[in-house]
Amino acid sequence: MRIVSLLPSATEIVYALGLGDHLVGRSHECDYPPEVLCKPIVTRSLIPANLPSYEIDRLVSETLQTHATLYTLDIPLLQQLRPDLIITQALCSVCAVSYNAVQEAVERLQPRPKVLSLEPTTLREVLHTFEQVAEAAGCPAKGRALSERCQQELDSLRQHCAQYPPVRLSFLEWMDPLFSCGHWTPELIQIAGGIDGHGQEGAPSRRLSWQEVLDWQPEAIVLACCGFSVERTLQDLPCLQRLPGWQDLPAVRHGKVFIADGSAHFSRPGPRLVESAYWLAQQLHAVPTLPEVATL
């Protein structure tokens, strides 16, 4: 089985299933586990690096309105790799190569590979993708085992956090403009003992007004910008710090502002969502005094 993954989360699933040796190609964003970095890259982003957040949002919006693509596929390289299975998605045109572009590319490949599209919107569906990948790769038992293990770890965390009073939380996936969390993240927040005031389970993230955050008066704020590292998110933190009322929020006054690597954790619907939930629980319920900004 020769596998090409066009999704960072799918790549992590492939390795978690013990199928890393079968991966022959990856997207430019597939960077975990570290051993994947030696694999050939078959995609490229058309968004210039190091743009301000508001410029990235503008470019993405304009590109999607014109039905253009944000990524390109190296079809000659794909042909050389001769994959049996290509793993992609149709959930978000911002996150990866569009499903239509993948289908068009597959039409030109000989022999024609199987295409598996992963489209989870809830935590249960994320766990099911582990089984989908394993089934497509011919090892269904491994998928069930991985899904069950992750579910057990999340159940254990939920039970532990139930003893604490829930924490009022604002979880932001983008800062300029503001976006709430969405899809599986509200569930992770609930498991970790929090109450998010803006996101909806199973629904996409949405634009958020600053007044909504002020009205919610969060006791904790988590910044996990989609596709951003901690260092990149810190560059945009002044966007929030300049907003009226920032310093008066309970989360800011009590040093409960946390930054997670959105590229590696909450944004990726893979096995490391369990690690993300445990990190969040530690931040929300830790007894020792915390610095103003803690990172994952």
pLDDT, tens digit, 9 for 90 and up, residues 49-108: 677 777 777 777 776 666 556 778 899 999 999 999 999 987 555 556 767 778 888 888
pTM (two decimals): 0.89
* pLDDT for position 89: 81
pLDDT in tens, 226-249: 888 999 999 999 999 999 999 999
Class of domain 163-295: alpha beta
Task: Say if domain 3-119 classifies as CATH 3.40.50.1980.
Answer: yes
Q: Render the chain in DSSP notation, one character per residue.
A: --EEE-SHHHHHHHHHTT-GGGEEEE-TT---SGGGGGSPB-EEE-SPTT--HHHHHHHHHHHHHTT--SEEE-HHHHHHH--SEEEE-SS-TTTSS-HHHHHHHHHT-SSPPEEEE----SHHHHHHHHHHHHHHTT-HHHHHHHHHHHHHHHHHHHHHHTTSPPEEEEEEEEETTEEE--BTHHHHHHHTTEEESS--BTS---B--HHHHHHH--SEEEE--TT--HHHHHHHHHHHHTSTTGGGSHHHHTT-EEE--TTTTTTS-STTHHHHHHHHHHHHH--S---SEEE-
Instruction: Please list the residue range(s) of the chain that carry CATH number 3.40.50.1980.
Output: 3-119, 163-295
Q: How confident is the model at residue 187 (pLDDT cuts 50, 70, 90)?
A: very high
